[in-house]
Amino acid sequence: MKYFWIYFAAGSALIIWLSWAVSIRARRYHGIARFFAFESILALFLLNVRVWFHDPWSALQILSWILLSGSILLAAGSISLYLKFAVPRGQFENSTRLVETGIYRFIRHPMYGSLMLLGLGIFLKRVTALTSALAFVVVLALCLTALIEEGEMRARFGEDYTAYRRRTKTFIPFLL
């Protein structure tokens, strides 16, 4: 791609600004790990954008679209529930209440799950050694993000979060 580095630099600048403004400035350090997930998703998108609609009926393309559709549905549902029940104060991540309804009844990190589906859906557009490595970084960074955020949530909500954590899975209902 002719302008890959220009687009990547511009996207990275936006991701750095958002990471600082939303998480890191407020000392929510899960934003650092999440930064690497966003960067990898951006790189995957830029590397695969030219083949987005190539060979639309192949098994990988169909699976890709299923994951991308799931990502949108999971993001929309979890953000809607979060805004309604978490009652964020000031910034989006500053929840004042623990959300335990809807998808949050089954998994603790549906928004990160959505990002994972997004990254994997984009990855499947064109599977190469480089895109495989980037997909691995997406999954690893989001697992680390969730782990760091778990500590932040325990500090904020105490025993309520610990009990919630025992009742739910991290990313995949009933499994993981």
Model confidence pLDDT, tens digit, residues 14-65: 999 988 888 877 777 888 899 999 999 999 999 999 999 889 999 999 999 9
Model confidence pLDDT, tens digit, residues 134-166: 999 999 999 999 999 999 999 999 999 999 999
For residue 32, give Cα distances in angstroms to 21, 28, 158. 12, 9, 23
Q: Is the pTM of this model over 0.85?
A: yes
Helices (H) and strands (E) in the chain, counts: 6, 0
pLDDT of residue 176: 59
- Name 25's Cβ contacts closer than 8 Å, sequence gap at least 6: none
The rounded percent of the chain whose pLDDT value lies above 70 is 99
